[in-house]
Chain A
């Protein structure tokens, strides 16, 4: 049972344009969401997070949007740069106990120069 899904395994975007990565979840108890970026043979790097009390959080070129009613979140990268090419994972957790994360399956972003 995949509680967190990223339905697009890959995405190609032209440099300078907007990249939009999507993530859907099924567990309504999730109240904290994160996006991580991962290069091959490296661990994930934290990008941005959002609590369920918000619907938007922005940090530089990265913005995360949360639609609780649709159980959907998205990551916007503007403008996209070639160095953004990586695999992006969304993760969700419940704010109690161990705060363990459930990860999505990842979306490979390729930013074309």
Chain B
């Protein structure tokens, strides 16, 4: 159980393009989803926390107009990287958890974004 699907797994696109990444919880309802970014050989850095039906909470230093997050249902959250530039190239990972107490976050397999 607790499967999180992230799509696409890899994106290569030109500078200026907007890219949408989907994160779905397949077998449980995720009231909270998290978006992380990982630089090479670095830790996972939390970008934002999204709760179903409400605005995302962004971590300090993360541009909310750059990284648009939508959590429209209990099983789907999307991250849109708007007007992407080469410095946005990274590995983006989502996770999902239920609302009940200390439950482990379950992660998707990540999206490798490369902006040319």
**A95 close to B112 (CB less than 8 A):** no
**A104 close to B43 (CB less than 8 A):** yes
- A35-57 CB contact bits vs B (8 Å, 1 = yes)? 01000011111100101000000
Number of residues on chain A facing chain B (CB within 8 A): 23
**B104 close to A49 (CB less than 8 A):** yes
**B44 close to A44 (CB less than 8 A):** yes
**A51 close to B42 (CB less than 8 A):** no
Q: Which of B40-80 contact A (CB under 8 A)?
A: 42-46, 49, 51, 57
Q: Sort chain B's interface into a size bin.
A: 20 to 34
Give bound CA distance, A41 to B52, whole Å: 27
* B106 contact set on A, CB distance < 8 A: 46
Nearest A-chain residue to B103, judged by Cβ: A99
**A42 close to B104 (CB less than 8 A):** no
Binding site for B on A (CB under 8 A): 32, 34, 36, 41-46, 49, 51, 89, 93, 95, 98-106
12 additional A-B residue pairs with CB within 8 Å, beyond A46-B104, A102-B46 = A34-B104, A41-B91, A41-B109, A43-B6, A43-B93, A43-B108, A44-B93, A45-B107, A51-B102, A95-B102, A105-B42, A106-B43
